[in-house]
Amino acid sequence: MTDKQPWTERIGHQRDWVWRGWQTRYAYQPCQDDRGLAPIILLHGFGASIEHWRNNIPALSQKHRVYSLDLLGFGASRKVYTTYSIQLWSEQVYDFWRTFINQPVILIGNSIGSLVCLDLGDNHPEMVKGLALLSIPDLSIRQEMLPGWLFSSAKFLENALSPPFLLKPLFRLLRRPSLLRLWAGVAYPDQRAINAELIEILGAPALDEGAELAFCALRQSVGLGSFSRPTKDILPRLQMPILLLWGKQDRMVPPQLAPIFARMNPKIELIEMEQAGHCLHDECPQRFNPLILQWLSLHFEPPQTRVVYDTMDSDLLCDL
């Protein structure tokens, strides 16, 4: 598969699944060389979707079955007005796993997806064989990193912008392609990665029925602290292999957090990537894919079948 193919052909077979009465979407890509290795579940970040993994699924499915989900409220899943939380999405993924897989898996999550991965690793260790976390947006540590006045000001602005009558026009403005490009420019330091395909992928869910109200609910849920389960309380307890990847040019979550989190558990292997931002898997898949494949091979393949991947250009800061 190549990136010249439509994204619909790169993410696998799309299916609908009804969860708690809500329509949700997932995709499944069978393994190209099935040796009984652990399946993979991919979990996207805030405002993203299954399509965000279109440049990674072909590589990952060489030796693993790959599943990806649109978390409730995102992508092609139902846009509902409810209280969103890491726990809600964790329950969605866990029920999906019990329904369709029911064997230990490797979880790979970007941004909010990484928080869901952490929650599942903590509450359902029988489900999780390994974790790969791409930039952890731990809101609980924000108060410790910001001066008191700045933290209070940020909270005031968040609460002031929470009412739906303010959020709805803001949402209509933000979903315009020109503003989506500006927003993507914050997440992607390499502007070459911001192409028409990416803007279409980011913008299409915002036109779905209920998208405005779902955006309001998501914003209000952030204000309620629904995304703040402290990473520092979870990471030390985890017993599975953990790969932590962080773009050194991440402008959405401070890259200074990466070594702090890495020191919390000896099982964590840290990779900090130069010239990469918040969505490093999509911004530079040619560097990301060999790194994740090398980690998967080292920890989840029999020694006789392991492959050494070319990661010379991948800014590896620790030996895998």
Residue 169 CB neighbours (<10 A): 11
pLDDT band at 172 (very low <50, low <70, confident <90, very high): low
The answer to whether residues 118 and 235 touch, using CB atoms and an 8 Å cutoff, is yes
| pTM recorded for the entire structure | 0.88
pLDDT band at 200 (very low <50, low <70, confident <90, very high): very high
Q: pLDDT, tens digit, for every residue of 46-79?
A: 989 999 999 999 999 999 999 999 999 999 999 9
Q: Which domains does the chain have, with CATH numbers?
A: 7-147+227-305 (3.40.50.1820)
Q: Phi, psi at residue 275, to the nearest 5°?
A: 55, 45
Decide which of 258 and 230 is more confident.
Answer: 258
What 311-316 contacts at long range (C-beta under 8 Å, 24+ apart), as own/partner pairs, is 311/287, 313/287, 314/271, 314/273, 314/287, 314/288, 314/290, 315/248, 315/271, 315/272, 315/273, 315/274, 315/275, 315/276, 315/287, 316/271, 316/291
Bridge-based pairing state of the strands 128-134 and 242-247:
parallel
